[in-house]
Amino acid sequence: MAMNGQQPTAKPAPAAPAPPAPQERAAVRGPLLYEGKAKKAWQTDDPELLIMEFKDDATAFDGQKRAQISQKGRLNAAISAHFFRLLGARGIPSHFIGQISEREHLVRRVQIVPVEVVVRNVAAGSISRRLGLPEGRELPFPIVEFYYKDDALHDPLINDDHAVALGAATRAELVQLREQALAVNGILRPYLSGLGVILVDFKLEFGRSRGEILLSDEITPDTCRFWDVQTHDHLDKDRFRRDLGGVTEAYEEIWRRLQAAPAAV
């Protein structure tokens, strides 16, 4: 009731609402575009946007070993969103638009460059086997490797000439992949170090969208090696590959530490 005896004035007409940001618009799931080993990609009503659903399925050794890992989809969706937000805040362009449910990301649809980019800080896994470097040996500088993303060929290690000859990427794109991957390492390695986690190595995928190269896919304990700095305990998919047990607990531990360190700066 108006205290001065006057009628309350009508509220001004609300300004026309700004068009919703993509993450605020309810994304409508369309047909399933692609089901991979760890995620499903759904089309949406916008041809430029996809919904990525993180599954509990785990595979290793080229799909020979398979299992369901309880909570993995939910944890990976949360962990990957956290890393994409952190990287976005530090100027790394990516496909990530937002997390729209417990296990779904809204992402920009890209044409995936069929070159997987691996960055290694510490020897582990295939580099230890191939080059005889003891697991755990710190490398003198971050090593970048390219793998041809082709399931039938079992994702072979390739060099720049191979990638260009195969038509997988141009020379200019390879330069960008390398620079972006090293930039990601330069952000994630010290960030994780502050959480007591050694970033041993990781795999990235990139895609083309509107003439730009965007970091895509996921950054999770499925695609990274994370070791506890004190114990060197594996907090990643090696627990599944090597039957170490405690897979869900390890992913939960990574998520717990990330939540203690905000992604935005």
Ligand X SMILES: Nc1ncnc2c1ncn2[C@@H]1O[C@H](COP(=O)(O)OP(=O)(O)O)[C@@H](O)[C@H]1O
Torsion angle defined by CA atoms of residues 152, 72, 112 and 183, in that order, rounded to the nearest 10 degrees: -120
Q: What is the torsional sign of CA 78, 83, 88, 90?
A: positive
Map residue 126 onto helix, strand or coil: helix
Site membership for ligand X, residue 37 (CB under 6 A):
yes
Residue 109 sits in the site that holds ligand X (CB under 6 A): yes
User: Helix, strand or coil for residue 223?
Assistant: coil
Residue 94 per-residue DSSP state: B
Identity of the residue, 56 or 135, whose beta carbon is nearer to ligand X in the bound complex = 56
Span from 109-117, 227-235, 238-246, 250-258 in contact with ligand X (CB under 6 A): 109-117
Q: CB burial class (10 A; 0-12, 13-18, 19+) of residue 112?
A: middle
For residue 83, what are the CA distances in angstroms to 15, 43, 70, 91, 185?
36, 23, 22, 12, 12
CA distance 40 to 179: 29
Each residue 114-153 as x (binds ligand X by CB under 6 A) or -, in order, gives ----------------------------------------
Cβ contact 204:233 at 8 Å: no
Stretch that binds ligand X, among 33-41, 80-88, 170-178, 188-196 (CB under 6 A): 33-41
Using CB under 6 A as the binding rule, whether residue 103 contacts ligand X is answered as: no
Q: How far is the CB of 194 from ligand X (least distance, A)?
A: 28
Instruction: Sketch the per residue contact string, 13 through 52, with Mg ion: x for CB under 5 A, - otherwise.
Output: -------------------------x--------------
Does residue 34 interact with ligand X by CB under 6 A?
Answer: yes
Nearer to ligand X, 105 or 239 (CB): 105
Query: Considering beta carbons, is residue 38 or 87 the nearer one to Mg ion?
Result: 38
Quick check: 205 binds ligand X (CB under 6 A)? yes
Q: How far is CA 29 from CA 81, 123, 253, in A?
A: 19, 41, 31
Based on the shown chain and the rule CB under 6 A, indicate whether residue 77 belongs to the binding site for ligand X.
no
In the complex with ligand X, which residue's Cβ is closer, 56 or 228? Answer: 56
Find the binder of ligand X among 27, 38, 124, 204 (CB under 6 A). Answer: 38
217 versus 253: smaller Cβ distance to ligand X: 217
Q: How many residues sit close enough to ligand X to count as binding (CB under 6 A)? A: 17
Closest listed residue to residue 207, CA positions, set 133, 96, 123, 118? 96
Task: List, in sequence order, every beta strand (DSSP E) within the chain.
Answer: 32-35, 39-43, 49-54, 57-60, 65-68, 96-101, 104-108, 111-112, 115-122, 138-148, 157-158, 197-209, 212-216, 224-228
The site string for Mg ion over 100-139 (x = CB under 5 A, - otherwise) reads: ----------------------------------------
Q: By CB under 6 A, tell whether 50 contacts ligand X.
A: yes
Which residues form the interface with Mg ion (CB under 5 A)?
A: 38
